[in-house]
Amino acid sequence: MSTVYDYQVKDRKGNMVSLKDYEGKVLLIVNTATGCGFTPHYEPLEAMYKELKDQGFEILDFPCNQFANQAPGSEDEIHQFCTVKFGTEFPQFGKIDVNGDNADPLFAFLATQKPFEGFGKGLKNAGLKTFADANNKKYGDKAYIKWNFTKFLVNRKGEVVSRFEPTYDMKDVLEAVKAELVK
């Protein structure tokens, strides 16, 4: 059975990194954007990282510009924005595609392990669904990720255990991470 440890990704300097380097840790893998309505998620993500990193927790940040061009900067510009505005210290990787023919294999794997189940109920979520569907129509059956700040929780064995859409309450994400850390 495949795990996230079977994948390699590029860091923000273009160097290949094996996710096997994170073996034994609980991971939260996130596709991000600096100009999105969900960009403030960086704040609770960083707070979570600071609180839990010494317990074997890592956040892996993958900028992506596929959703309404909301991450147009270079890797260095994105990194500077995140560190200055939100004080992020967790690892940030190179900008990637998460959908389509050029989708990073890691994100295709994550999404097939935990497929999209909806943004939740309510008018705001219905509006996001309409906007996301229009944006992702061009990717057809390779529209793995529906919007920025989709989060995948990975256990210490490298197995994908949960998927959180950007509309999920960050308190619920924190509780799921804490529960995974004590397993």
Q: How many residues does the chain have?
A: 183
Among this protein's residues, is 36 annotated catalytic? yes
At 26, list the tokens. 């609980």
Contact (CB, 8 A) for 75 and 41: no
Choice among 36, 45, 60, 128 that is catalytic:
36
Strand ranges for the chain from DSSP E = 8-10, 16-18, 26-32, 57-63, 151-154, 160-164
Query: Residues with catalytic annotation?
Result: 36
